Chain A
Amino acid sequence: MKKSPYGKLKRVILASMILVPLATLILILGIGYYYFTTSLESSTIATVKRIVADHRHMIDSFLSNRKANLEFILHSYSFKDLADPEMLHKTLKRLQKESDAFVDIGLFNEEGMHVNYQGPYRLVGKDYAEARWFKEVMTQGAYISDVFLGYRRIPHFIIALRKTENGQIWVLRATIDTQMFNQLVKSVRIGKTGEAYLLNAEGVFQTERRSGGNLMEKDPEKLKTPSPQTGIKAFIAENIKGEPYLYATTWLREKDWLLVVRQEKADAFRFLHTAAYIIVIVALLGGGAIVGLALFLTNRIIRRMERMDAEREQLGGQLIRASRLAELGEMATGFAHEINNPLQVMKSEQALMDSILLDVKDKGTLKPSDDLKELEDSIQQIGLQTGRCAEITQSILQFGRQSEPVLQDVDLRTFIPEVTKMVEKKADVHGISLKQRISDDLPPVHGDRGQLQQVLLNLFNNAMDAILMRHGAEGGELVVEAGAGEESKAYIRVKDNGIGINAGDLKRIFTPFFTTKPPGKGTGLGLSVCYGIVDKMGGTMTVVSEKGEGSIFTITLPAARSGRSE
């Protein structure tokens, strides 16, 4: 198929049909996505902030409650009371009733000497004068320590309170169960990766971190910390491995510990991803639908336009052919008419010569001889050939002008060989063997000799053209068969072993103006005129053909009613 002349138009239609809806779709999806993600992000961050605030509040109240428990003891008892191991034991039990977090309790004098102790360790008599917490509590009055190892070599932290009683200074200290405290801090769970932990001012873990980070180790990540008064800071930062996390940090009120709540960004914003997936899917499906529809519609439009073009072209072609044919007819008619006059003269001359010769012979002035015979024959030939010319002009005139056919009975048994003779030379030149099988029972038909000749010549010439296309100069075979068919009909069959006709062309072969020959080589009228002639004579014309094998044209004509004489 030739290239469509609408290539550019097709691209324009296709582009606009795709781009306009696609741009709209993408714009809508984009805006939707933007607002959705923004609101989702801010709500996620708000949630994290709220969680960190709640958690801080809980941890703060835990610490302040423990401090209050201790303060109560401090105010209720004197140093002497507490120096009694029995009393201290009771006190510890009461404390532990308040909270399981209390591991032990100890009483210290002004010098940092462990005066009394109740708990799982043996710490009485140990000197804490140089311990950091002791110095802190002596200066501040109340102190919550970072997690440290101490004499027991186990991570723990303590709450210590100082009391001045009648000039005597003493310190009450309680250890908090780190295990329990750990659980309390860690208890936050958000999504899959959400976790909470505490860091001291130096960035050392005060509680374990679920995703790795042991007690008392330094947090390898440098975190942004809010100033103590600004409260909560939420941000996104990468961990040591480079994975982005959503962080929320805040300082505790009771102790300079930093509460960190963090969650993997992907986890925190997983709904965002879901939204993104949905939008991508919608965009792909919608885009696909748009592109598909655009392709489909564009193809239809272009195909329709091409078809209209083809039809218009075909119509134009037919008109041109028809007018060309009309011109040709006019020209041929004029030509034939002009030829007729000289032919008339020639005919007269020949008749005169004939007449003179006859006279001279009759008078005896010319003796019969071989030369004379030759002369007579020659003159005869001139008459015959002028007759042939006359017939040609007649047939041209017939072509140019629908004249009344001269109807007569035609004996096909002699007529067919006559016509065959006309193409004998052509067949011979092209190495085509021309065979005739004419049955004796072939009845005469009633029709116009010129028209019948036209039909047969047309079939012969077509057959020879087909043979030449397949065989070239040898191997061609053209067979003419004729005989009596059914219902007193005569049939004439023209068989060739040429290239044959394909099925598509076969359907249109008798259509006027249909030709497979290159433009200008055939009018496409030959077979349709033949068909018309045969049809007018009350006959039929059919064709069977196999591409590459050859064709068979069969004409049936009604036998003449007047019998078989001519």
Chain B
Amino acid sequence: MEEMKMMLVDDEERFLSTTEKLLVRKGYDVLTAASGAEALEKLRTHNVHVVILDVKMPGMDGIETLRAIKKEYPLVEVIMLTGHATVESAVEGLKAGATDYLMKPTEVEDLVRKAEEAFAKREVLEGKIRVARTRAMGKSPREILEETGGR
């Protein structure tokens, strides 16, 4: 089974580094990005399963980033990290395709738990996709080849 790969997106550098260290210690594979743009940049080169995305960021904010991610990488699970005052944006995020949300300040345990849930969901989804592909294989291998190549 594949290992979960997470990406933390937050403008608070110290939060990023500390949480990264924590998660690494817990044995997770973690990437960090300090802005929405950087997150999108890193997604291009890394296979990330779960993105923990802060709602409130300077420049490209959480919701915009979420939309961009979902547009380009629909299979990536996104968990919104919101302050209390931005519950509305969390709801907006959920509507825009986020898997879940976390309330700041959050416990690392909660973060990990939600990330695992999201990952499990993705696994299920990928399983279904695999089954679908296996069925399709008999029909048109070329198509499948094309599809896998495109990924």
Contact = CB atoms under 8 A, between A and B. Distances in A.
Nearest to A338: B83
B135 interface: no
B22 A401 contact: no
B84 A348 contact: no
A347 B83 CA distance: 14
A345 B85 CA distance: 18
B18 A352 contact: yes
Please report whether the interface of chain B is mostly helix, strand, loop or mixed according to DSSP.
helix
B108 A351 contact: yes
B12 interface: yes
A345 B25 CA distance: 17
Contacts of A334: 85
How large, as a class, is the contact surface on chain B? 10 to 19
B114 to A, nearest CB: 15
B12 A344 contact: yes
Contact of B104 (A341, A352, A403): A341
A458 interface: no
Interface residues of A, number: 26
Contacts of A91: none
Interface stretch (A311-319, A390-398, A468-476): A390-398
Interface of chain A, main secondary structure: helix
A348 B25 contact: no
Contacts of B22: 348, 351-352, 355
Considering residues A333, A337, A400, which has the most beta carbons from chain B within 10 angstroms of its beta carbon? A337
A359 B26 CA distance: 10
Interface in A385-427: 386, 390, 393-394, 397, 400-401, 403
B83 A348 contact: no
Contact of A337 (B19, B85, B107): B85
Contacts of A343: 104-105
A175 interface: no
Interface in A328-386: 333-334, 336-337, 340-341, 343-349, 351-352, 355-356, 359, 386
Contacts of A355: 22, 25-26
A42 B51 CA distance: 122
A467 to B, nearest CB: 34
A320 B7 CA distance: 48
Given A344-B104, A393-B84, 14 more contacts: A337-B83, A337-B85, A340-B84, A341-B15, A341-B83, A345-B12, A345-B15, A348-B22, A352-B22, A352-B25, A355-B26, A397-B84, A397-B85, A400-B85
24 contacts: A333-B85, A334-B85, A336-B84, A336-B85, A337-B83, A340-B104, A340-B105, A341-B12, A341-B15, A341-B83, A343-B104, A344-B15, A344-B105, A345-B18, A346-B105, A347-B105, A347-B108, A348-B108, A349-B14, A351-B22, A352-B21, A352-B22, A397-B85, A403-B87
Report, nearest first, the 6 A-B pairs whose CB atoms are least far apart: A344-B105, A397-B84, A343-B105, A348-B18, A351-B108, A347-B105
Interface of B: 12, 14-15, 18-19, 21-22, 25-26, 83-87, 104-108
Interface of A: 333-334, 336-337, 340-341, 343-349, 351-352, 355-356, 359, 386, 390, 393-394, 397, 400-401, 403
